[in-house]
Amino acid sequence: MTSKERAAWRAKANGLEAIFQIGKEGISDNLIAQLDDALDVRELIKVRVHLESAPQPPKELAQALGEALGANVIQVIGGMIVLQRPIDEEKVRAKKAARAGDKKVKKKKVHIKGMRQRQREKEEKIPTPSMTDPSIMADKMRIGIYGGAFNPIHNGHLHLLDTLYRAQTPFGGLDKLLIVPTANPPHKSAEDLIPATHRIAMIRLAVESLPCADKIEISTIELESREKSYTYTTLVKLKEIYPNGEFVLFIGSDQLFDFQKWYRYQDILKLAQVRAITRQECQRQAVADFLTRNKDLAGISVLVAKPVVVSSTQIRQRVAQGERIADLVPAAVADYIQEKGLYRG
């Protein structure tokens, strides 16, 4: 498969939902059989890996699935695996013939027929890309990027996530909002960071109650790298995954004042529309004055969000002192912290 063909399949996969999941049981014979049937019908599928419970990393699972199914691994991003395999009509006919008369299989065939119908309905809405020209494939996606340690995620983060998703960008509304937990930030010490599996689990628990939860994805792109988590390199990697993506990078107003010190900051402005978040209206003028003085940052715009006074440091300190945090984080996150014994010092 050529790089152009792979890019084309990646773009087409943007319109698909994951129909199978891999959890603590890992890859079973039953899962392989179901995936095999799905590829006979769909040709292109997504598989979601539960990062906190899966027995192997997504890349190893993807390789194993590709070998077992004779499929191409198109992409592994975070906990999402994309597989593609050309439909073999002769094989499909042979399967149908072998299963004829088996009532249990008939039920399964009805299920697959339903899958096929749902796929047809989706494909009517999604333009089929040319495998030789990925540049004309899917409509451009407007993708928001919100990074941070999320150590842990708290009510302030959730308020911002809802605000960011609803906010109108220069491109219009967002089609997707990526949460990008950091692994090795260049400007902070990573000593206080708990394992990524816990941070990801708490993010999932927290965002599931948001109205825009179905549009939020957790990207582990920085967690998978052993290098410093520079925003520029993250954007370059995301551009490879979403070649037609229009990125909106959200940063705090405090980060804005140091933005010119960021690694290849001018290239960041070429790769994404940057929006600086200020949590108080009175700060907006200070930010605007700063942008006026620094002409090379003229492309950055400002978003005012209602302040929610809470910090991850405050939460960690409260937990270490045995104090309540129910007013700072969602109940599910508070329960998780207590159950796992996190931040107790």
pLDDT band at 169 (very low <50, low <70, confident <90, very high): low
Tell me what pLDDT residue 70 has: 93
Looking at per-residue pLDDT, the higher value among 282 and 12 belongs to: 12
Q: Where are the beta strands (DSSP E) in 70-157?
A: 72-77, 80-84, 141-148
What Cα–Cα distance (Å) separates residue 136 from each residue in 100, 120, 147, 157, 172?
42, 21, 30, 36, 21
The tens digit of pLDDT for each residue in 136-161 reads 334 578 899 999 999 999 999 998 88
| Closest among 127, 99, 102 to 40, alpha carbons compared | 99
What is the separation of C-alpha 50 from the centre of its chain, rounded to a whole number of angstroms? Answer: 13
Domains of the chain: 3-126 (3.30.110.60), 141-340 (3.40.50.620)
The whole-angstrom separation of Cα 318 and Cα 152 is: 12
Q: Where are the beta strands (DSSP E) in 101-244?
A: 141-148, 176-181, 216-218
The tens digit of pLDDT for each residue in 225-267 reads 777 889 999 999 898 888 888 999 999 988 999 999 999 999 9
Tell me what pLDDT residue 229 has: 82
pLDDT band at 99 (very low <50, low <70, confident <90, very high): low
pLDDT greater than 70 at residue 129: no
Strand arrangement, sheet containing 272-278: 216-218, 176-181, 141-148, 245-252, 272-278, 301-304
Q: What are phi and psi of 275, to 5 degrees?
A: -120, 125
Tell me what pLDDT residue 21 has: 84
Tell me what pLDDT residue 185 has: 67
Provide the β-strand partners of residue 302: 276
The whole-angstrom separation of Cα 249 and Cα 273 is: 6
End-to-end CA separation in angstroms for the chain: 51
The whole-angstrom separation of Cα 208 and Cα 202 is: 10
The whole-angstrom separation of Cα 112 and Cα 119 is: 10
- Tokens 């715009």 sit on residue: 301
| Closest among 139, 117, 116, 119 to 127, alpha carbons compared | 139
Tell me what pLDDT residue 319 has: 96
The whole-angstrom separation of Cα 340 and Cα 319 is: 12
Looking at per-residue pLDDT, the higher value among 256 and 18 belongs to: 256
Provide the β-strand partners of residue 143: 176, 247
pLDDT band at 82 (very low <50, low <70, confident <90, very high): very high
**Per-chain mean pLDDT for the chain:** 82
The whole-angstrom separation of Cα 218 and Cα 109 is: 34
Report the share of the chain in percent with pLDDT over 70.
84
Tell me what pLDDT residue 116 has: 41
pLDDT greater than 80 at residue 172: no
pLDDT greater than 80 at residue 128: no
When pLDDT is averaged across residues 153-181 and rounded to a whole number, the result is: 80
- Stated pTM of the model: 0.62
Neighbours of 228 (CB within 10 A): 15
pLDDT band at 339 (very low <50, low <70, confident <90, very high): very high
The tens digit of pLDDT for each residue in 306-332 reads 878 899 999 999 999 999 999 999 999
The whole-angstrom separation of Cα 62 and Cα 47 is: 9
Cis, bond preceding 181 (omega within 30 deg of 0): no
Task: Write the DSSP assignment of 139-172 as a string of letters.
Answer: PPEEEEEEEE--TT--HHHHHHHHHHHHSPBTTB
Cβ 217 vs Cβ 241: under 8 Å:
no
Instruction: HSE, CB side, 13 Å, CA atoms: give it for residue 47.
Output: 31
Tell me what pLDDT residue 102 has: 54
Token pair in block for residue 344: 């107790």
